[in-house]
Structure 1
Amino acid sequence: MTTALVIGAGVAGPVAAIALRKAGIAAALYEAHPGAADDVGAFLTLQTNGIDALRAVDAHRAVTGLGFPTPSMRFLSGTGKPLGEVSTGAPLADGTVSHTLRRADLYRALCDEAARRGAAVHHGKRLVDAESAADGVRARFADGTTAEADLLIGCDGLRSRVREIIDPGAAPARYVPVLNIGGYTRSVRPGAPPGEYQMIFGKRMFFGWAVAPDGEVWWFANPPRRAEPAPGELAAMTTEQWRSWLVDLVAGDRTPAREIIEATPGDLRGWATYDIPAVRTWHRDRMIIIGDAAHATSPASGQGASMAIEDAVVLARCLRDIADVPAAFAGYEALRRSRVERVVAQGARASSSKAAGPVGRVFRDLLLPLVLRRAAGDNGASLAWIHRHHIEWDAPVDVPALARR
């Protein structure tokens, strides 16, 4: 049986292990963290195309019951003026809609499912180097151990070591001029239907929140920051410094943002936003990168997890149907590059609108209602290329068609 080393156990890694096993390839996961990552304040939206991709490999049940449905987004200005409402993607045939869930819960569920299907999961394994030969790949880890397999798949995220090994001259991640922070509170009851995102283009900061079915408020904020933070700068900020800054940024907005921020218990920690517009080399010999390692997108796209899941499923199909590993990697790239780079570009545009200056804000708030009405009026057709993307697992990969690309 063909074997694979999968580096990284976030989203792409476990789904890759699951999909590879379904394709008849044995996979082992190697994760740098010693255990489950501390993910306070971090949640994400798993959109319908990502859920559909999980169904392709019968892994969707692993995440059933996590989080809550979030089928729509309502946009408002900082004055509370309604700007428009759109869906987060057309429902699947059975009515399933996009879900919001804690990132740590998703990681854990997918890792557990990969292990249940026979993938060994090794924690505390930070990749240092890897080298490929004609018949396989050998990986070396920071603890001095090594591992060998027929191929290696880098699912190690934005700061991917596998990407550096494949192409030492690869372009670095690009800073996006907004920060991210979020949290949860049960101490306020802002008026909104459960599961409907309230997206607020405040005068000085973008703020979003949704109410879970149990009444808990899940929120996030994107403080604008033109200059990239210095290493360690954000980590050095205390909870009270974050809270004071966020409250100051929403001062004057007629929204529940200040009340939500002040009512949030526990630590507040923020992080910088990055994306990767284009990585010139995704694979070399028997090594390849997928997910954020190959095409990190701004969280504003709402597609990071879903793109990673799609990647894993498509790669497994290519390896199943194309016997030569480098050719399978090339086929995978032909199927994925255009789509994911388009998603990254869309996420960058969405992030830029959150960091608009005084003049840009005026034009944005004038034009956004028109854009949102058009999007709502076409019943999601303009975004169908994202949300209605379907991967047919049983369909063979069309090798001749890929060769013509």
Structure 2
Amino acid sequence: MSTTRSALIIGGGIAGPVAATALHKAGIHAHVYEAYSGPSEGIGSGLALAPNGVAALDLIGAGDAVREIALPVAQMRLRVGGREHVMPVLADQPPLMAVDRGELHRALHDHAVAAGVAFSYGKRLSHVDEHPDGVTAHFTDGSTATADVLVGADGIRSTVRGLIDPAAPGPDYTGMLGFGAMVECDLDLPDDTMVFAFGTNAYYLYWKLADGRAVWGANLPSKQYLSLTEARALPAEHWLRVLRETYAPDSPGGEFARRTTAENLEIAGALHIMPPVPHWYRDRIVLVGDSVHAPSNSSGQGASLAIESAVQLARCLRDIPAPTEAFAKYEQLRRNRVEGIAARAAKINHSKTPGPFARRVMNAVMPLMVKTVMNPEKTMGAERRYRIDWDAPVRAESVTAAP
């Protein structure tokens, strides 16, 4: 029987509320502490949840709430220059769910609150004291909180990761800045289709909402690294000029850029990918979500992997008596999967800015690529069919806790 009865969750984005709700379901009291002054809405733009991620949400009863705010994406196309190629899909899997990140945060927060999870805001973690029977978190406002374990769900710039291992690697920059917007645009595209476009100068993707508006996301190449805060410190008008110049040769990318306004532009800043993190936990402290594994947005799995890991962590703490042994089992269940997906996505990043010759070659060989290297059965079958058995007991056999 587990000895864990309470948990402090640092971070209220995606992994935090899911971990707290899953722990509550497992009989462990969880309290979420968020550094922002309120729910973390409006951070980033749209994202896609894969079937495996939605299935994990179903285990904590949040799947339907997310389906209500999401757009099913059953078909995908690849646009290279002016040519489109229909991509094969996994016929036995539900569609992707395209959702606004802010709305997803809100839905997961509200579901957690309804389940009995408490949230505290304006709580930026400064340091942690560990003792034989628990852990105490100290926040910059002078307050403290104590529980049996502490879960770091504080994102790619994780404070908790540095507390576990001061030598832990930070995120790598992909060389691209992220932007997004919803625009009024007469787009000849089925409502359930997402298009991945290799433009003349930069990559972008888009889909159409049921009300006729289009959602688009831009991956803007940039040698200069700009964090979310740094990118948003520049006037929106500056970014609109850059986006319009970059995507001017493309259709419909140029039209999207022209119709984007300062009011509806979402600025995400630098896009990252996490290198392998050597230490996922220490004693009574553990990492979950982007703080420990953040594949680039090319994977289509970032949010889904965070959700899966949060649920698996709760299962391990539910069934394994000692927290350190539970954390070791959790890492064993997750590391190979998340690092394999991150490696696949890293390869895709290198192909996002092909030149004119490369685009001609891509169009010429695309029919063959669709049947071979881009066959979804080979590239994404196992990823999207992954399912967690919540009721199956987790056993610590063959697991050695890390020093």
TM-score by length of 1: 0.92
State which drifts further: 323-332 or 237-246: 237-246
- 2:260 corresponds, among 264, 267, 286, to 264
1:205 aligns to 2:202 (yes or no): yes
**What amino acid does structure 1 have at the position aligned with 2:77?**
R
2:51 aligned residue (43, 48, 58): 48
**Residue of structure 2 in register with 1:70 after alignment:** 73
- Residue 71 of structure 2 aligns with an amino acid whose one-letter code is F
Deviation at 1:237, TM superposition (A): 2.9
* Match of residue 287, structure 1, among 273, 285, 288: 285
Give the AA of the match of 2:195. Answer: Q
Identity of aligned residues (%): 39
- Specify whether residues 384 and 288 from structure 1 end up closer, same or farther in structure 2 by C-alpha distance, changes over 3 A only: same
Q: Greater shift after overlay, 268-277 or 322-331?
A: 268-277
State the AA in 2 paired with 1:85.
Answer: M
- Any idea what SS the aligned residue of 1:109 has? helix
Task: Return the alpha-carbon distance in structure 2 between the equivalents of residues 245 and 257 of structure 1.
Answer: 13
Structure 2 gaps of 5+ residues are: none
Q: Which residue of 1 aligns with 2:236?
A: 239
| 1:138 CA drift (Å) | 0.2
Tell me if the contact between 1:36 and 1:104 (Cα under 8 Å) persists in the aligned partners: no
Q: Secondary structure at the match of 1:245?
A: helix
Distance 2:327 2:365 in 1: 42
Q: Is the 8 A contact 2:136 2:147 kept in 1?
A: yes
Which residue is 1:215 aligned to? Answer: 212
**CA separation in 1, counterparts of 2:43 and 2:285?**
33
Q: Do the aligned partners of residues 248 and 369 (structure 1) sit closer, same or farther apart at CA in structure 2, a change above 3 Å counting?
A: farther
Correspondence list, 1:82-161, <5 A: 82-87=84-89, 91-92=92-93, 96-161=94-159
Number of residues paired by the alignment? 397
Q: Identify if the C-alpha distance between structure 1 residues 172 and 40 changes in structure 2 by more than 3 Å, giving closer, same or farther.
A: closer
- Partner secondary structure for residue 399 of structure 1: coil
Alpha-carbon distance, 1:71 to partner: 1.8
Separation in 2 of the partners of 1:6 and 1:232? 24
Note if contact 1:205-1:224 (Cα within 8 Å) is conserved in structure 2: yes
Higher mean alpha-carbon deviation, 227-236 vs 62-71, is at 227-236
Task: State whether structure 2 residue 398 is matched by structure 1 residue 398.
Answer: no
Q: Which amino acid counterpart does residue 395 of structure 2 have in structure 1?
A: D
Write the distance in 1 (CA, Å) between the matches of 2:225 and 2:365.
Answer: 29
Partner of 2:18: 15
How far did residue 313 of structure 1 move?
0.8
Match of 2:384 in 1: 387
Root mean square deviation, CA, Å: 2.2
Q: Which residue of 2 aligns with 1:169?
A: 167
| Match among 219, 224, 236 for residue 221 of structure 2 | 224
Distance 2:241 2:161 in 1: 38
Match of 1:353, SS?
coil
Alignment check: 8 A CA contact 1:183 1:218 kept: yes
- CA drift of 1:374 comes to 3.1
Equivalent position amino acid for 2:383 in 1: I
SS in 2 for 1:241: helix
| 1:307 to 1:363, Cα distance in 2 relative to 1, 3 A | same
Matched-pair contact (CA < 8 Å) for 1:86–1:375: no
CA contact (8 A) 1:183 1:220 kept: yes
Instruction: Name the SS of the counterpart of 1:65 in structure 2.
Output: helix
Correspondence for 2:346? 348
CA contact (8 A) 1:57 1:393 kept: no
Secondary structure in 2 aligned to 1:329?
A: helix
CA contact (8 A) 1:277 1:345 kept: no
How far did 1:38 drift?
4.7
CA distances 1:127-152 after superposition (whole Å, capped 9, x unpaired): 11112111000000111100000000
Cα distance in 1 for residues equivalent to 2:106 and 2:227 = 31
CA contact (8 A) 2:44 2:102 kept: no
What is the alpha-carbon distance in structure 2 between the residues aligned to residue 184 and residue 41 of structure 1?
13
1:300-350 Cα distance to aligned partner (Å, 9 max, x none): 111111001100111111111110110000000011001001111122222
User: Aligned runs of 1:248-263 on 2, under 5 Å?
Assistant: 248-253=245-250, 255-263=251-259
Work out the CA distance in 1 between the residues paired with 2:54 and 2:44.
Answer: 23
Pick one of 309, 315, 318 that aligns with 1:320: 318
Instruction: Give the whole-Å Cα distance in 2 for the aligned partners of 1:232 and 1:111.
Output: 23
Q: Distance in 2 between matches of 1:172 and 1:211?
A: 35
Secondary structure of the residue that 2:207 maps to in structure 1? strand
| 2:88 maps to amino acid | V
How far off is 1:360 after superposition? 5.2
Moved more, 118-127 or 55-64: 55-64
Structure 1 residues 184-199: aligned runs within 5 Å: 184-186=182-184, 188-199=185-196
Task: Out of 226-235 and 62-71, give the one that drifted further.
Answer: 226-235
Residue 58 of structure 2 is aligned to residue 61 of structure 1: no
Tell me the amino acid that sits aligned with residue 241 of structure 2. Answer: S
* Aligned counterpart, 1:333: 331
Would you say the 8 A contact 2:169–2:275 is kept in 1? Answer: no
